[in-house]
Amino acid sequence: MLKILIPTLLLIPTSWLAKAKWLWPTTLLHSFIITLFSLAWLKNTTETNWSTLNPYMATDPLSSPLLTLTCCLLPLMILASQNHLAQDPLVRQRIYITLLVTLQLSLIMAFAATELTMFYVMFETSLIPTLILITRWGNQMERLNAGTYFLFYTLASSLPLLITLLAFQNKTGTLSLLIIQLLGPIPISPYVNIIWWTTSLLAFLVKMPLYGVHLWLPKAHVEAPIAGSMILAAVLLKLGGYGMMRLMLILSPLAKELCYPFIILALWGVLMTSSICLGQTDLKSLIAYSSVSHMGLVAAAILIQTPWGLTGALILMIAHGLTSSALFCLANTNYERTHTRTMILTRGSQMILPLMATWWLITCLANLALPPLPNLMGELIIISALLGWSWWTIIFTGAGALITATYSLYMYLMTQRGPVPNHMISMNPSHSREHLLLTLHLLPLLLLVFKPTTIWGSAY
C-alpha cells in the first residue's frame, strides 16, 4: 500500500520542482508507473479476501478494481488537461496537477480504508479538490452554482452519516470493516432503525446519484473542466456505490423492507434520465444524464443485496467508469476545436476526423452495452438479479436498456453523421495525445472482456 501512496504523495513535490518543459511529461510518466504498480492489487491471494494489510488500509476484491481504476485515471486526467492548460501560467499548471494528485490520494485512502472513520474522512476530503477544480477552472459563470450544488448536496447528506458512524462505534465498539463483516444483526429500537438505515445510506445515495437527489450531477459534470468531469464520472460516483456496499453489511435485517422505495426510485430514475438524454442539446449534459441512468441500475442492484446483484454492480461500475470518462474525453476533443458543446453545431465529424469517429463508435457502443464488453455483462447480471427479486422490474430495466441504446446511437449519429457545417471544414487534425488518451480508456475495457473475474468482487 505504501509503495503506491508514497509515490503518489511525492508527485506533489514533483509537480512543483519539475522544470516547465518537463512538467507534463514527468508527471505523466510517473503516474503511469504508479498505475502499473497498482495492477498488483488485482491479484487476490488470501482466502479471507483481505490482502496488502496494514492496521489502517487493506484491499479486497471489492475495493481493488476501484483502486486500480482510480490510479489508472490520474495519468489519463493529466493527458487530457494538457492542451487546455497550456495557455495558463506555470504556477497555475502546477497547482492544477497538485489538486489532481491530492484528489487521487484521498480517493486511494478512501477505497483502501479499513476503518469506516477513515473512509468517511477521506470521502469528505475528496470534495475539496473537486470543488476547487470545478469553480476555478470551469468555463462558464454557472460553475459557481454547480460547485455550490455539488458541495452542499454531499455535505448535507453526509453529516447524518457521521452521526450514524459515531453511534455505531458507541454501540458496538468498533468501526473496522474487518470486524463488522463478522458481527450479527445490531439491536436497534423499532422506529430508530428506519432513521438509522436512511442516514447510513443517504450520503451514498446522493453520491451515486439516486434519481430524486441527482440534481447536482448534470451541473457539476457540465461545468467542470475535462479532468474534473473524468474523475467525477469515473470514480467519485463509485465512492457512493462502494460505501453502500460496505455499509449494508451492518444494516442487514432492515434492508429487506426499507430498500423498497429506493429501488423503485432508482429504477424509475433509469427510465426518466434516459428519456431526458434524448432531448438534450448539450453534449456533456447528455453524457452526465447517461451516468445517472447507469448508476440508477447500480443503486438498485446494491440495494437488493444478493450476490449477483453486488457482482453486477461492481462490474458495471468499473465498465461505466471507463466508458463515461472516455465519452467526456471525446466531448472535450470536440469542444477544444469548435468551442461549443451544442450538438447541433458540431455535426458530421466523421468526414473530418475519421479516426476519432472510430473511438466515438466504440465508446458509444460500449455505452449502450454491446456484448462482449463488461458493460453488458454488468447490466445483464443486474437485470437478472432484479428479475429474481421481482418480475415487474423487467419493465423498467428493459425500457431503460432500450432508451439507453437509443440515446447512445443518437449521440453517435448526431456528432458524427449528417451534413458537415461550413464552419467545421478546416479543423485542427487529431493530436496523437488524444488518440493515446482514448486508447488507454478503451484498452482496459477490451482486456476486461477476457478476464472479467478481476472485477467480479468478493460476492461471487
Q: Return residues touching another protein (CB under 8 A).
A: 139-141, 144, 279-281, 338-340, 342, 344-348, 418-426, 428
Say how far apart CA 102 and CA 86 lie, in whole Å.
Answer: 21
154: closest CA among 226, 105, 83, 217? 217
Residue with Cβ nearer another protein (195 or 344): 344
Q: How far is the CB of 221 from another protein (least distance, A)?
A: 17
What are the distances in angstroms from CA 246 to CA 111, 177, 338?
10, 8, 44
Say how far apart CA 154 and CA 124 lie, in whole Å.
Answer: 8
Residue with Cβ nearer another protein (334 or 375): 334
For the residues of 314-377, what is the DSSP string, one character each? HHHHHHHHHHHHHHHHHHHHHHHHHS--BGGGS--HHHH-HHHHHHHHHHHHHHTT-TTSHHHH
- Cβ-based burial of 296 (10 A; exposed 0-12, middle 13-18, buried ≥19): buried
Q: How far is the CB of 304 from another protein (least distance, A)?
A: 36
Contact (Cβ atoms closer than 8 angstroms) between residue 459 and residue 381: no
Q: How far is the CB of 226 from another protein (least distance, A)?
A: 16
Q: How far is the CB of 296 from another protein (least distance, A)?
A: 23
Residue with Cβ nearer another protein (219 or 320): 219
Return the sign of the alpha-carbon dihedral for residues 459, 440, 131, 104: positive
**Look-up: residue for cell 484528489?**
103
Residue with Cβ nearer another protein (371 or 421): 421
**End-to-end CA distance of the chain, in Å?**
25
Residue with Cβ nearer another protein (218 or 240): 218
Q: How far is the CB of 338 from another protein (least distance, A)?
A: 5
Provide φ and ψ at 210, rounded to 5°.
-80, 155
Say how far apart CA 203 and CA 213 lie, in whole Å.
Answer: 10
Residue with Cβ nearer another protein (268 or 410): 410
Q: How far is the CB of 29 from another protein (least distance, A)?
A: 29
Q: How far is the CB of 392 from another protein (least distance, A)?
A: 32
Residue with Cβ nearer another protein (45 or 426): 426
